Amino acid sequence: FNHACVNQIRGGFEKDDGSREYPAAVMLANFPKPTSTAPALLKHDDVLTLLHEFGHVFHHLCSKTRWAYFQLDSVQMDFIEAPSQMLENWGWEPSVLRRFAVHHKTGKPIPEELVARMVAAKNEGAGLFNLRQAFFGLFDMAIHNTTDPNVDIRTLYKTMRQEITRFAGGDANACGAATFGHMMGGYDAGYYGYQWAKVFSADMYASRFLKDGVDSQQTGLAYRREILKPGGSRDASVSLEKFLGRKPNNDAFLKSIGLDQ
């Protein structure tokens, strides 16, 4: 299994007698297995993946709506990735890393100097990554908006990839689109949401959690109440304004990818 995702097992809803059917979810991922000489050890990228998917789990388990449909099924594609992307930030917080990133033999926490170097290198390749995401989002839109029944998917993929990411298309017979699973897996005509949701996740994290402290119980409860609990029962813009105390903006996102100058 070369992907990571969260699937709903059971939706939560209010029963006729007023009691609740509690939700359940499963996380699917492919993390390293233990060996004969070492336990299962996660790379930092694995930790970020784990936190990302847990963001989806929390969104599902903490939502509380009358009807199961309005838990995650109705969350707008523009916003569905925001809670999961925001939780990834805890994987970059030195105070958080020191609590669990310990040497499996000595128990010593990760060196502060190493954490500092990791954070300093966080945006290495950010330009290429964001161009890649822009390409996927635009290609997704292109094929779901075409009216040409004879559109050449291979050529379109190669041409757009080269124009947007500046990388050559590669083997003429290769079908890059065949590796783009999201395109037909529920994110069709919605892959742009990964990038757009980062605007919201960065704003929430920088404006509330960084400002109030990543361990702030008050901020955490406000996040649960205004962002997670409503699920898809109200427009995401309403939830964001209630949590932020204002309309969201892209300042924090641009700063997070090194474009704040």
Percent of the chain with pLDDT over 90: 86
Q: Regarding beta strands 24-28 and 20-21, do their DSSP bridges make them parallel or antiparallel, or are they unpaired?
A: unpaired
Check pLDDT > 80 for residue 260: no
Give tens-digit pLDDT for 197-241.
999 999 999 999 999 999 999 999 999 999 999 999 999 999 999
Mean pLDDT, rounded, of the chain: 93
Cβ 36 vs Cβ 17: under 8 Å: no
What pTM does this model have? Answer: 0.91
Q: What pLDDT is stored for residue 61 in this prediction?
A: 96
- Which of left, alpha, beta for 8 (phi over 0: left; psi -120 to 50: alpha)? beta
Query: What CA–CA distances, in Å, run from 86 to 43, 49, 95, 153, 165?
Result: 19, 12, 17, 34, 26
Query: What CA–CA distances, in Å, run from 77 to 73, 111, 202, 223, 230?
Result: 10, 39, 17, 19, 15
Q: What pLDDT is stored for residue 261 in this prediction?
A: 58
Pair of tokens at residue 128: 């290429």
Check pLDDT > 80 for residue 26: yes
Percent of the chain with pLDDT over 70: 99
Annotated active-site residue 53? The verdict is: yes
Q: What pLDDT is stored for residue 54 in this prediction?
A: 97
Q: How many CA atoms lie within 13 A of 61 on its CB side?
A: 11
Exactly one of 21, 53, 112, 113 is catalytic; which is it?
53
Q: How far is CA 156 from the centre of its chain?
A: 27
Give tens-digit pLDDT for 68-103.
999 888 999 999 999 999 999 999 999 999 999 999
Q: What is the DSSP string of the chain?
A: ----EEEEEE--EE-TTS-EE--EEEEE--PPPP-SSS-----HHHHHHHHHHHHHHHHHHH---SSGGGTTTTS-TTTTTHHHHHHGGGGG-HHHHHHH-B-TTT-PBPPHHHHHHHHHTTTTTHHHHHHHHHHHHHHHHHHHH---TT--HHHHHHHHHHHHH------TT--GGGG-GGGGTT-TTTTTHHHHHHHHHHHHIIIIIHHH-TT-HHHHHHHIIIIITTTTSS-HHHHHHHHHSS---SHHHHHHTT---
